Structure formats: C-alpha cells, structure tokens
Amino acid sequence: MKTIAILNGPNLDRLGKREPEVYGSETLADLENQLRAEFGKVAKLEFFQSNHEGALIDKIASLADAKVDGLVINMGALTHTSVAVRDALMGAHLPTVEVHISNIYKREEFRHQSLTAPACIGVITGLGFEGYHAAMRFLLRQTGAKT
C-alpha cells in the first residue's frame, strides 16, 4: 500500500472558522475524513498541520527519510514567503502536488507567486477541498497504486 502525506500549513487548522466566504465552512477534520473515506482503502494517509515553519520543514525531512510515496501540500501563506520550505521540498525529492483551497490568482497580488511551486510536479488552486482529492488521485496514479 502506498503512503501519501497531506501537509497543511499556517491557519489551516482554522478552516470552518476563518474567512468562510473564502475557505468555506468545512473544517480540516472534515477534509481528513473525506480523504480517508475516498482513499483510505487504497493508500496509507498521513496528516500533519502546523502553524510553525520549522515544524513543517522537519516533517518534510522526516517524510523524505521515510520514503513516503507522495506528498500533498497546502503551505498557506508560507507558499508565498518561504524559501526554507521550498528548499526542504527540493531536497526531499518526493512527488509533491501543491494545493490551494482558494484561487490564489483572484486574491491579493502578493499571493500570485508561489515560491514552493517549482519544487512540485503540479499545482491545483481554487477547487476547494476537491483540489486535495484531485491531487490524491494524481499521485496515486503516478505511483502505480490501484485505485
């Protein structure tokens, strides 16, 4: 069974409470339950969320050392500011798909650039939670898992 990790960055623990007009009313727990329901029988899922850049970098390194099969990331605002997260992803050599719940290109201009995207094989933006599902389907196909 393939292992896919789903990492969420700053403020994503506030889903359902923070700016529901942008991010919707569902919570991070709702997302995890949805992903487990759809993919839990075909992949081992590992979830991690932190509001701390260093904790996310440490987790990326530990996932690389564990040789997980793929990574879905939503680094929140760190997407636009963190060279350190980008470097961690580049050094991990893991197939990674970056996901954004909102369409970053319809938001403030500073959100239009992703520093982490060059370390990823794909980017999905603006599809809500469906973006995570699409990223999972893609990574599972890439790893040869039977879905």
Q: In what order do the strands lie in the sheet with 122-125?
A: 43-49, 2-8, 70-74, 96-100, 122-125
Ordered DSSP codes for 61-90 = HHHHHTT-SEEEEE-GGGGGT-HHHHHHHH
Beta bridge partners of 48: 7
- Beta-strand pair 43-49/122-125: unpaired
Q: Please give the positions annotated as active site.
A: 23, 100
Structure tokens at 58: 């440490």
Q: How far apart are CA 70 and CA 2, in angstroms?
A: 8
Q: How many CA atoms lie within 13 A of 58 on its CB side?
A: 8
